[in-house]
Amino acid sequence: MSKELLFKYVLTLGDDALILGQRLSQWVYKGPFLEEDIALSNISLDMFGRANLFLEYAASLKGSTTTADDLAFKRNEREFSNHILCEQPNGNFANTMARQFFLDAFYKLFFEKLAESEDEQLSAIAQKSIKETTYHFRHSSKWVIRLGDGTAESHEKMQSAIDNLWMFTDELFEMNEVDNNMLTQKIGVDCLTIKAKWDQIIDEVLSEATLKRPENIHMTSGGREGIHTEHLGHLLSDMQYLQRAYPDAEW
């Protein structure tokens, strides 16, 4: 039972990294200038590296012959438990940076806590991830500031990106049955306790960026239970195409 819960817990971490990495990889050759193209690819690579570690761990908990690739390429929409924010389309550069900024701020705090996990594997992956996320956060928060405090056009685009994605941010801090169980076992993170710190970081950056924190927005969630926006299905059908079309092939 406990192994099944740990599997679910690790799977969400893997799915978040996988889906976000896939989204970022869609920027390749489309960035606002070449240097930024490389930066986005680098973050994408970090995400796939992290997805690989979490999914390998998850696969090992599943036992039998399951591999990380099986988990990535052979599950359906309803079996993915990533946060909905990760699957949101890239939109324009401001949308991508807003999504990244919310998640980087969250994961920076999350991994600091997860590094203290009594599960050695999770703790090791978290420690590696802290370094990456620290850099990602510098990158995304600085862009939120540049765009927020840049031109009138960029300010408007950045503000609307923040407003449009805000509805998905509460889900990051929800504690379900799996989370509570992991917390009791000193394996998982208490997301409620990092919420205040997250709010503070967001407020500081938004204020420097001359942007407004959205208010009275109806919050949406469900990703952890496999209830996603319609975007995920398209992302998966693209990503899983070869594995699905040629199930007997090895690549």
Partner 1 sequence: MGHFLPSNHSSKANTLTMSAVQETAFQEKIDAELKIEAKDWMPDKYRLHLIRQISQHAHSEVIGMQPEGNWITRAPSLRSKMVLIAKVQDEAGHGLYLYSATETLGITRSELIEQLQMGKAKYSSIFNYPTLTWADMGAIGWLVDGAAIVNQQSLRRTSYGPYSRAMIRICKEESFHQRQGYEIMSKMSNGTTEQQEMAQDALNRWWWPSLMMFGPADSESAHTSNAMKWKIKRGTNDDLRQLFIDRTVKQAELIGLEIPDPDLKWNPKTKHYDFGEIDWEEFWEVVNGNGFCNKERINNHIKARSEGQWVREAALAYSEKKQNGV
Partner 2 sequence: MSNNNLPTWEVFIQPKTGASFEHAGNVHASDKEMALQNARELYTRRQEGTCIWVVKTEDIVSSNPEDQQSFFDPADDKLYRYPTFFKVSKKAKGL
| Residues engaged in binding partner 2 (CB under 8 A) | 33-36, 38-39, 42, 138-139, 142, 146
Q: Would you tell me how many other CB atoms lie within 10 Å of the CB of residue 23? A: 21
Q: What residue 138 binds from partner 1, partner 2, none (CB within 5 to 8 A, per partner kind)?
A: partner 2
Distance CA 134, CA 221 (A): 26
Distance CA 144, CA 213 (A): 13
Beta carbons of 207 and 216 less than 8 angstroms apart: no
- What is the DSSP code (8-state) at residue 168? G
Is residue 233 within the footprint of partner 1 (CB under 8 A)?
no
Is residue 22 within the footprint of partner 1 (CB under 8 A)?
yes
Is residue 243 within the footprint of partner 1 (CB under 8 A)?
yes
Beta carbons of 83 and 16 less than 8 angstroms apart: yes
Q: Tell me whether residue 216 or residue 251 sits nearer to partner 1 (CB atom).
A: 251
Q: Tell me whether residue 32 or residue 222 sits nearer to partner 1 (CB atom).
A: 32
Q: What residue 177 binds from partner 2, partner 1, none (CB within 5 to 8 A, per partner kind)?
A: none
Contact residue for partner 1 among 9, 93, 166, 198 (CB under 8 A) = 93
Distance CA 93, CA 157 (A): 9
Q: What residue 139 binds from partner 1, partner 2, none (CB within 5 to 8 A, per partner kind)?
A: partner 2
Is residue 151 within the footprint of partner 1 (CB under 8 A)?
yes
Contact residue for partner 1 among 62, 66, 128, 150 (CB under 8 A) = 150
Query: 91, 48, 90, 96: which is closest to 73 by C-alpha?
Result: 48
Is residue 38 within the footprint of partner 1 (CB under 8 A)?
yes
Q: Would you tell me how many other CB atoms lie within 10 Å of the CB of residue 200? A: 11
Three-state SS at 75? coil
State the nearest-atom distance from the C-beta of 185 to partner 1, in Å.
28
Return the C-alpha torsion angle 33, 36, 37, 40, nearest 10: -160
Output the six-digit token pair for 203: 């407020």
Is residue 90 within the footprint of partner 1 (CB under 8 A)?
no
Q: What residues contact residue 118 under an 8 Å CB cut-off, 6+ apart?
A: 185, 186, 187
Q: What residue 44 binds from partner 2, partner 1, none (CB within 5 to 8 A, per partner kind)?
A: partner 1
Binding site for partner 1 (CB under 8 A): 22, 25-26, 28-38, 41-42, 44-45, 48-49, 51-52, 55, 68-69, 72-73, 92-93, 145-147, 149-151, 153-154, 157, 238-239, 241-243, 246, 248-251
